[in-house]
Amino acid sequence: MKFLENPPRFLFFTGKGGVGKTSVACATALDLAGQGKTVLLVSTDPASNVGQVFGVTIGNTVTPLVRVPGLSALEIDPEQAAAAYRERIVAPVRGLLPDDELSGIIEGLSGSCTTEIASFDEFTSLLADEAVFGQYDHIVFDTAPTGHTIRLLQLPGSWTDFLEAGKGDPSCLGPLSGLDKHRSMYAAAVATLTDPARTRLILVARAQASSLGEIERTYLELNQIGIGGGFVVVNGVLPAVAGTEDLTRAVRARERAALAALPAALAHLPLDVLELKAANMVGIPALQTLFAASTETDESDTIGQTVDTGDIPDAPLAALVDAIERDDHGLVLCMGKGGVGKTTIAASIAVALAGRGHAVHLTTTDPAAHLTETLHGSVPGLEVSRIDPVEAVQTYRDHVMATKGTALDAEGRAALAEDLLSPCTEEVAVFQQFSRVVHESRRRFVVVDTAPTGHTLLLLDATGSYHREMARQIGDSLPFTTPLMRLQDPALTKVILVTLAETTPVLEAEGLQDDLERAGIRPWAWVVNASLAAARPTSPFLRARAAREVEQIDRVRLLANRIAVVPLLPEEPIGQEKLAALTALSPQPAR
C-alpha cells in the first residue's frame, strides 16, 4: 500500500461517510502494530464504531487492545468530553458564586457548541500534548464524515485567530481565559496538521463519481487551510472472484468509469485500490485480510452460502410514499450513518411526492451533501435548497447586528461583532434555518436530507435547548410550539432511518433510534438501502455477501415500526427518472 510507505507519526483517514474509513483506519493500526510500533487508534467521529469493529468497549479513555500488542484505542465521546469540560470551568467557582449564578454558567455550557469544542479540545491535545501522548510511534485518526472533519480541522486555526483578536466572553465556552490557557496548544496543533513530515492525509472513497467528487472537495478545502499532500484509497472494488453475472458486469463498468474519470485535483496523488471482501470487516481476522488481494482460495469458506429468499420481505419504498402522501403535508427527516444513501432516499421520496402533484421542498442540513448532483436537473413542483453554513452564519450575523446592535454604541457594536466571530455561531445560525424549514412543513411537504448521525444529534440538541429555554421563559402563560415539539409529533414529522444491511450501519442506526427516543422522537420507518440480497444475485461471491445481509434485515424488522427494502441497482439512481423508479421497486422475485 502506497499510503503505508514511510508513514509519519499522524495519519488522518477522511472521506464521505460509509466508504470504509473505519475499516481502513483499523486495518492500518493493526498493520503498524504488527511491525512492532506503538499505535494509538483514535476516532473523532461523534458516531464512532471502532469499538464495534474490534468487538470491545473502548469509550473516552485510552484502552489497550490486549489481543494486539502495542495497539491502544480511544473514542472521543462528545458527551463525556463536554461533561469534563464543564467541570473544568465550573469547579474553580463552585462554592464561591451564588447558586443562581452557578446554574446560569452550567446552562450556558449545555449547548451543542460546547460539546463540539470539548471534543476539539481533546483532539488538539492528541496532536500537541507530548507529555501525555508522546509515547506512541503513530496516532491513527478515524475521522468523522467529511463536513464535520473539515470543521474540526479548521477549528485550531479559527480558535487561534479568535483568541488573538477576541476579548469577548462567549457563554457556550465559559470564561475566555480558559481558552487562552490553551493558546500554545492550539498553535502547536495547527503546526502539526500543516507539516507533511508529521501528518499524512488519506482520502478514502468508493469507486463512485459522487464519492470521488467528495474527497476532491475535501482535499481542496483542506489545502486552503494549509493541509497539503494526500493519498487516495478507493475501497470496496469488486474483485475478479465476484463473477460475471449482469449485476456484476454493470457494477464493474460503473466502477471503471468512475476511476477513469478521477477528478483532476486527485489525479497526481498516490492511489491504492482495495477489493471488496466476502466477509464483513468486523473482528481482527477479517481486518487482517483487507489489504490482501482476493483469491478463489480465500473465498472458499463463503462461496457455499446461499440466501434464503423467504427471509427477504417484499417491502417497496412506494408503500412508504403512499403512507406519507395521506397527510397532504408534513416534515420527512431522512437520518442515518453517512454513506448509506440518505440523499438518494430523500430525493426519491421528494420526486415521488412531486410527481403525484404535491408541492415539495427538498433540502439538506448535510455539509457534504450535493442534492443537485443527485437530481441532475429541476423537477416540476419540487423546490431544492441547502442549509449552507457559511450563508447561514452571515445572515445570522447581519440580523443580530441590525437588531441587537442598533441600540449599542460604537464600542458595544465592536464587542458584539467580535463575539459573533466565534466558530460556535455556526451551530446557532444553522439551527435557525432548520427551524424555519420545520415551520414550513405546516403547509407543504418538506423532505430533509440530514447530516450524518453525529452532526444531526448536535442539531437536535440545539433544538432541545431552544425548547427548554422557551418553556422556561413562557411557562404556562401562553401556548407555544417549538421545533422539538413538531419533531416529537408523529402527525407532523416522519423520521426515516436509512441503513445498509450491514452490521455497523444497523448498529449505528439502532443507536440513533435510542438517542431519538430519549428526546421523545420515535422513528416512523426504516429503509434498508442498496440491498444485495434483495437484488437476488447469482454469482457465488455476491451470494456469500448477500447471505450476510439476511440477519441484519431480520434485525431491522424487529426494530422498526415499518420497513422498506431497496435492492442494489446496476446503475446509480441519479436523475429524476431513476429516482422515480426507486419508489416502484421491490425485492426481485426468487429465481
The H or E element that residue 328 is part of is: none
Catalytic residue, chosen from 15, 17, 18, 464, is 18
| Residue 536 near residue 569 (C-beta atoms within 8 A) | no
Ramachandran area for residue 333 (φ above 0: left; ψ -120 to 50: alpha; else beta): beta
For the question of residue 37 being annotated catalytic, the response is no
For the question of residue 481 being annotated catalytic, the response is no
Ramachandran area for residue 479 (φ above 0: left; ψ -120 to 50: alpha; else beta): beta
For the question of residue 229 being annotated catalytic, the response is no
What does the alpha-carbon distance between residue 78 and residue 389 come to, in Å, rounded to a whole number? 21
Catalytic residue, chosen from 31, 45, 121, 366, is 45
pLDDT tens-digit readout, 296-307: 544 444 444 555
What does the alpha-carbon distance between residue 187 and residue 148 come to, in Å, rounded to a whole number? 20
Residues 6+ apart with CB under 8 A from 406: none
Tell me the DSSP string of 383-407: EEEE--HHHHHHHHHHHHHHHGGGG
For the question of residue 18 being annotated catalytic, the response is yes
- Mean pLDDT of all residues in 319-338: 90
Between vectors from CA 191 to CA 187 and to CA 195, what angle results, nearest 5°? 170
| Residue 187 near residue 160 (C-beta atoms within 8 A) | yes
Per the DSSP assignment, residues forming a β-bridge with 528 are: 499, 565
| Residue 339 near residue 17 (C-beta atoms within 8 A) | yes
Dig out the grid coordinates for 221 from the structure: 478545502
The number of angstroms, rounded, from the C-alpha of 460 to the middle of its chain's C-alpha atoms is 14
Dig out the grid coordinates for 534 from the structure: 434483495
For the question of residue 34 being annotated catalytic, the response is no
| Residue 315 near residue 565 (C-beta atoms within 8 A) | yes
Closest CA to 535 of 546, 548, 520: 546
What does the alpha-carbon distance between residue 481 and residue 294 come to, in Å, rounded to a whole number? 57
Which phi and psi (to 5°) does residue 345 adopt?
-65, -45
**Could you tell me the pLDDT band of residue 5, with boundaries at 50, 70 and 90?**
very high
Task: State the chain's mean pLDDT as an integer.
Answer: 80
pLDDT for residue 9: 94
The number of residues making up the chain comes to 591
Dig out the grid coordinates for 516 from the structure: 431519538
What does the alpha-carbon distance between residue 426 and residue 393 come to, in Å, rounded to a whole number? 5
Is the predicted pLDDT of residue 438 greater than 90, yes or no?
no
**Could you tell me the pLDDT band of residue 200, with boundaries at 50, 70 and 90?**
very high
pLDDT for residue 177: 45
pLDDT for residue 320: 95
pLDDT tens-digit readout, 331-375: 999 988 777 888 899 999 999 999 999 999 999 877 655 667 677
* All domains in the chain, ordered by first residue: 2-287 (3.40.50.300), 314-392+444-582 (3.40.50.300)
Stated pTM of the model:
0.74
Catalytic residue, chosen from 15, 16, 17, 22, is 22
Is the predicted pLDDT of residue 148 greater than 60, yes or no?
no
Which phi and psi (to 5°) does residue 438 adopt?
-60, -45
**Could you tell me the pLDDT band of residue 544, with boundaries at 50, 70 and 90?**
confident
Angle of helix 99-108 relative to helix 78-90, nearest 10 degrees, comes to 150
- Mean pLDDT of all residues in 19-47: 89
What does the alpha-carbon distance between residue 127 and residue 114 come to, in Å, rounded to a whole number? 20
Q: Which range among 60-64, 300-304, 322-326, 335-339 shows the weakest confidence by mean pLDDT?
A: 300-304
For the question of residue 110 being annotated catalytic, the response is no
**Could you tell me the pLDDT band of residue 528, with boundaries at 50, 70 and 90?**
very high
Catalytic residue, chosen from 20, 70, 166, 464, is 20
- Mean pLDDT of all residues in 269-281: 90
Dig out the grid coordinates for 284 from the structure: 481482527
For the question of residue 504 being annotated catalytic, the response is yes
pLDDT for residue 579: 86
Site of grid cell 480511544:
74
Catalytic residue, chosen from 504, 531, 539, 586, is 504
**Residue 3, helix vs strand vs coil:** helix
Write down the number of H helices and E strands in the chain. 23, 15
Q: How far is CA 307 from CA 88, 136, 401, in A?
A: 54, 45, 62
Which phi and psi (to 5°) does residue 359 adopt?
-80, 125
What does the alpha-carbon distance between residue 47 and residue 458 come to, in Å, rounded to a whole number? 11
Q: Which range among 142-146, 238-242, 402-406 shows the weakest confidence by mean pLDDT?
A: 142-146
Q: Of all residues in the chain, what percent carry a pLDDT higher than 90? A: 29
Catalytic residue, chosen from 14, 15, 17, 21, is 21
